C-alpha cells in the first residue's frame, strides 16, 4: 500500500501519467511529423493547424492504440490522414486556387475596368476548373496550384504515376476545350 502512495506522489494530481506519456510522444516525434505535414501541404502556417488536430486525435485515441503496429507508424498514419482531410476540404481548395491563380496577361493598365475584367476572368477560370470531373480537377490543382510533383500526387492519391500524368494531360485538354467553348459563347 505504501508503494502505491509513493508512485502517486511522483506525478502531480493536475497532470496524470497519461498526459505525461502524450507529452513525451509529442516531444519525441514532433519534428518528424511537422516535416511530414509540410511535405503534403507546403505551408508552415497550415502545418501548425494540422499538428494541433493531430495532437488532439492522439490525445483522444491514445487509449485505443493496440500495439498492432509501432507507435511511430500509428502517428504517421494519423498525421497523413489529417493532411488528406486538410487537402480535401473545399475551403482550402478554393482559397488556394484563388490565391495562386497566375496573373492574366492582357495589358498593363491599372484602371478599374482592367481590374474588373481580370477578376471576371479569374472567376470564370475558377468555375471552369471546378466543372471538371474530380479525377482531372484534383491532380490539376495539386500540380499547378500546390506545386506537387507527379510522384507526390501519386502517393497522395494512391494512384500510379502514369495514371496521374494521364489525368493531368486529359484534364488540361478538357479545361482548354471548356474554357474556349465558354469564351465563344
CA 165 to each of CA 67, 97, 160, 161: distance values in angstroms, whole numbers, following the listed order: 38, 20, 9, 6
| Average confidence score pLDDT of the chain | 76
* Dihedral over alpha carbons 128, 129, 133, 139 (to 10 degrees): 160
- Could you tell me the domains of the chain? 2-88 (1.10.1740.10), 90-184 (1.10.10.10)
Q: Which residue has the higher pLDDT, 161 or 179?
A: 161
| pLDDT value at residue 59 | 85
pTM above 0.75? no
Tell whether the model's pLDDT for residue 9 goes beyond 60.
Answer: no
- Closest CA relative to residue 50, chosen from 93, 22, 87: 87
Q: Which tens digits make up the pLDDT trace of 56-111?
A: 888 888 878 777 888 888 899 899 999 888 887 755 555 555 555 554 444 455 66
Separation CA 124–CA 129 (nearest Å): 9
Q: Are the CB atoms for 141 and 93 separated by under 8 Å? A: yes
* Residues contacting 121, CB < 8 A, separation 6+: 104, 106
Tell me the three cell numbers of residue 33: 511529423
Q: Are the CB atoms for 104 and 122 separated by under 8 Å? A: yes
Tell whether the model's pLDDT for residue 6 goes beyond 50.
Answer: no
How many CB atoms neighbour CB 106 within 10 A?
10
**Confidence bin at 115 (pLDDT 50/70/90):** confident
Amino acid at each position: 500500500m505504501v508503494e502505491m502512495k509513493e508512485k502517486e506522489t511522483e506525478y502531480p494530481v493536475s497532470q496524470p501519467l497519461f498526459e505525461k506519456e502524450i507529452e513525451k510522444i509529442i516531444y519525441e516525434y514532433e519534428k518528424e511529423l511537422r516535416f511530414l505535414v509540410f511535405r503534403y501541404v507546403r505551408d508552415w502556417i497550415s502545418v501548425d493547424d494540422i499538428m494541433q488536430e493531430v495532437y488532439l486525435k492522439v490525445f483522444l485515441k491514445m487509449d485505443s492504440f493496440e500495439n498492432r503496429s509501432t507507435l511511430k507508424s500509428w502517428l504517421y498514419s494519423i498525421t497523413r490522414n489529417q493532411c488528406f482531410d486538410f487537402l480535401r476540404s473545399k475551403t482550402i481548395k478554393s482559397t488556394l486556387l484563388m490565391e495562386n491563380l497566375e496573373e492574366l496577361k492582357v495589358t498593363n493598365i491599372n484602371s478599374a475596368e482592367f481590374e474588373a475584367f481580370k477578376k471576371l476572368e479569374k472567376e470564370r477560370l475558377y468555375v471552369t476548373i471546378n466543372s471538371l470531373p474530380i479525377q482531372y480537377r484534383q491532380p490539376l490543382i495539386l500540380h499547378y496550384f500546390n506545386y506537387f510533383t507527379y510522384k507526390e500526387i501519386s502517393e497522395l492519391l494512391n494512384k500510379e504515376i502514369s495514371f496521374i500524368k494521364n489525368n493531368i494531360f486529359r484534364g488540361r485538354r478538357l479545361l482548354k476545350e471548356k474554357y474556349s467553348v465558354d469564351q465563344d459563347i
